Amino acid sequence: MDLRAQTLEWRLKSEKIGFVPTMGALHAGHVSLIEAAKKKADRVVVSIFVNPLQFGPKEDFGSYPRMLAADIEKLDAAGVDALFAPIAADMYPEGFQTSLTNNAINNILDGRSRPGHFDGVLTVVSKLFNLVQPDFAFFGKKDYQQLAVITNMVRDLAFPLEIIGCPTARDPDGLAMSSRNLRLTPEERTLAPHIYKGLRLIADAHAAGEKDHAQLIDIFRAHLSQVKDFRLDYIEIRAQDRLMDFDKVVDRAAVALVAAHLGSVRLIDNLEFGAQ
């Protein structure tokens, strides 16, 4: 299928296009994004592309789960109108040399821990937007900083589409759904929900009246320190608006963001709390 020709045909019929970019290894969280897209748009396009530009040299690009046949079955069951599954040579042909960056929030949180990561994210997402030309694009809030940098890119560069952030999909024990969860051992899988439990402790303490930034951070650190095998990358509390840092008092709508290693798997999660 010629993607451009297909989307043009839909546009000539005044049909709205929803887009869900993914790296495959689809789970119920991805399906929830597709369901949100189907409610908002007339047609839904999903992309599957494990983007090499957003992986560092010592990260898990080689071991990232790839299961295209199973993914296609899930997309068929979900009623997706089109799948775009390019290879690296399609996206980055010989001589490719252009990239995007966000100087304001590219070097905090995951940007600090994974240098160049969000340059790769912005570059591939901007190209996907140009290829698909959607009216709406759907992203899960689990990748909170990613959602922020993409939202800023769309605003700053006047992309003619709307970014829609969707709630984090979770397993019954609270673990945020992620393709990387497939790489957890059974023992690690039983420990992984402690990340979310620690985030809930922050939100509950804040709701009970604790507004001191350092104390809220210490609540999470104390919880996770009791769980073996975790190696904390960061735990931060930032304003939901533009991810600005707090000084001493968490006095407006906030989000707690965490990254931690469990065995060979790096997990991220976040939780919004405070006044809306």
Q: Where are the alpha helices (DSSP H) in 62-116?
A: 68-78, 88-91, 110-113
From 242, 32, 21, select the one nearest 120 (Cα to Cα).
Answer: 21
Instruction: Specify whether the CB–CB gap between 55 and 61 falls below 8 A.
Output: yes
DSSP for 174-228 reads: SPBP-GGGGGS-HHHHHHTTHHHHHHHHHHHHHHTT--BHHHHHHHHHHHHHTST
Chain mean position to CA 245: 20
Measured CA to CA, the distance from residue 174 to residue 161 in angstroms comes to 32
Q: Which residues contact 239 (CB under 8 A, 6 or more apart)?
A: 245, 246, 252, 253, 254, 255
Query: In whole angstroms, what is the distance from residue 59 CA to residue 183 CA?
Result: 14
SS3 150: helix
Active site residues: 30
DSSP H or E segment with residue 137: strand 136-140
